């Protein structure tokens, strides 16, 4: 069989359009635009590109973008003081500190400083705790985007067997919690799991988020399973080329001949991350202003 290719780029565009319309309505009701503050420390080129794209997407979605670019030698005290300032700023509804931070900074201490009401990355202890308890809160963007793609394909996920390969706080753990909330039977696996291929082979849903290029092979995939590839890895460049191609954690070419549906890399989960970041910012703004979003709007 040939798998259905899950077009994350198209779905993300639809979500961003919905967010933009609702953000315009929010601005009309409140007299201000929802605001997202992104903090970048240092000059990592990939992070700079990502922050720029977030800023453009925020403005395009009828929201305010506040970019704070700090020097690589910024101290812990200076960074935490900025987060405190953004927590108090009524124009800011969402705060995102671009990770990873330079090695001399304590990432967790900085994340812990963010107000849970403005934690659009869903990484504070309060946010992660509410997710684990099944309570309303802000959820990490990539896992939520992945869930949206799964529900687009299947609708109701109840009773499905899901394997999440990866246990990071950014993707693996929150992904498992979201799938549990959808009444899936969930297994969390990782690079040290025994009989990993056999475990993955039993799943109706496979979410690969382990950070190893093409680790999940076609013979790991159950016939007709849905595969969500969160990985993004750059292979060594071929002769005569400056950059190697981007691949996911799944061997896409061969796996797409077995799976029922699969996300490509690039163009799958990646575009959803920024779209859900915008969605989370708008949700945070509505909660801060005590305004209800239309039911089912996002």
Confidence of residue 94 (pLDDT cuts 50, 70, 90): very high
CA–CA dist 282, 23 (Å, integer):
7
Segment 228-252 mean pLDDT: 89
- Whether 61 shows a pLDDT value over 90: the answer reads yes
Question: Known binding site: residues?
Answer: 166-168, 232
Q: Which residues are bridge partners to 39 per DSSP?
A: 68, 97
Segment 264-287 mean pLDDT: 97
Question: Known binding site for NADP(+): residues?
Answer: 166-168, 232
Segment 88-106 mean pLDDT: 96
Segment 163-178 mean pLDDT: 97
223 Cα distance to chain centroid: 27
pLDDT given at position 263 = 98
- Whether 239 shows a pLDDT value over 80: the answer reads no
pLDDT given at position 1 = 64
| Residues contacting 11, CB < 8 A, separation 6+ | 148, 149, 152, 271, 272, 275
Segment 201-221 mean pLDDT: 97
Active site residue 151: no
pLDDT given at position 295 = 84
In the chain, what percentage of residues exceed pLDDT 90?
A: 89
CA–CA dist 266, 282 (Å, integer):
26
* CATH number for the domain running over 29-116: 3.40.50.10860
pLDDT given at position 237 = 84
CATH superfamily of 141-270: NAD(P)-binding Rossmann-like Domain (3.40.50.720)
Q: What is the dihedral of CA 93, 98, 100, 106, to 10 degrees?
A: -50
pLDDT given at position 297 = 85
Buried b (16+ CB within 10 A) or exposed e, 261-298: bbbbbebbbbbbbbbbbbbbbbbbbbbbeeeeeeeeeb
Token output for 155: 């609708």
> In the chain, where are the structural domains located?
29-116, 141-270
Backbone φ, ψ for residue 122 (5° rounding): 65, 35
pLDDT given at position 111 = 97
CA–CA dist 95, 86 (Å, integer):
7
Report which secondary-structure segment, H or E, holds 246: strand 246-247
Active site residue 152: no
Among the listed residues 93, 98, 173, 229, the single catalytic one is 98
Confidence of residue 238 (pLDDT cuts 50, 70, 90): confident
Residue 41's SS3 state is: strand
CA–CA dist 56, 217 (Å, integer):
36
Among the listed residues 93, 119, 121, 204, the single catalytic one is 121
Active site residue 121: yes
Among the listed residues 54, 118, 173, 222, the single catalytic one is 54
């Amino acid at each position: 069989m040939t798998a259905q290719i899950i077009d994350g780029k198209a779905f993300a565009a639809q979500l961003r359009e919905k967010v933009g319309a609702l953000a315009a309505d929010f601005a009309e009701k409140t007299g201000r635009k929802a605001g997202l503050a992104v903090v970048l420390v240092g000059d990592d080129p990939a992070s700079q590109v990502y922050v720029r794209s977030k800023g453009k997407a925020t403005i395009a979605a009828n929201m305010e973008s506040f970019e704070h670019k700090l020097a690589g030698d910024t101290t812990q005290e200076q960074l935490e003081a900025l987060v405190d300032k953004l927590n108090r700023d009524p124009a800011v509804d969402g705060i995102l500190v671009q990770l990873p931070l330079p090695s001399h900074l304590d990432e967790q201490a900085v994340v812990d400083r963010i107000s849970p009401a403005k934690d659009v990355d869903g990484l504070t202890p309060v946010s992660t705790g509410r997710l684990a308890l099944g309570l309303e809160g802000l959820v990490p963007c990539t896992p939520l985007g992945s869930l949206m793609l799964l529900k687009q394909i299947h609708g109701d996920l109840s009773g499905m067997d899901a394997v999440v390969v990866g246990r990071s706080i950014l993707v693996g753990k929150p992904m498992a919690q979201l799938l549990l909330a959808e009444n899936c039977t969930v297994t969390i696996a990782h690079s040290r799991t025994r009989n990993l291929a056999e475990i993955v082979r039993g799943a109706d849903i496979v979410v690969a988020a382990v950070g190893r290029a093409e680790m999940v092979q076609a013979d790991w995939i159950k016939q007709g399973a849905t595969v969500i590839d969160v990985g993004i890895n750059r292979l060594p460049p071929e002769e005569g080329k400056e950059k190697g191609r981007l691949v996911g954690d799944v061997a896409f070419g061969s796996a797409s001949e077995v799976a029922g549906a699969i996300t490509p890399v690039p163009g799958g989960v990646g575009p959803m991350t920024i779209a859900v970041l915008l969605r989370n910012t708008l949700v945070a703004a509505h909660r801060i202003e005590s305004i209800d979003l239309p039911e089912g709007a996002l």
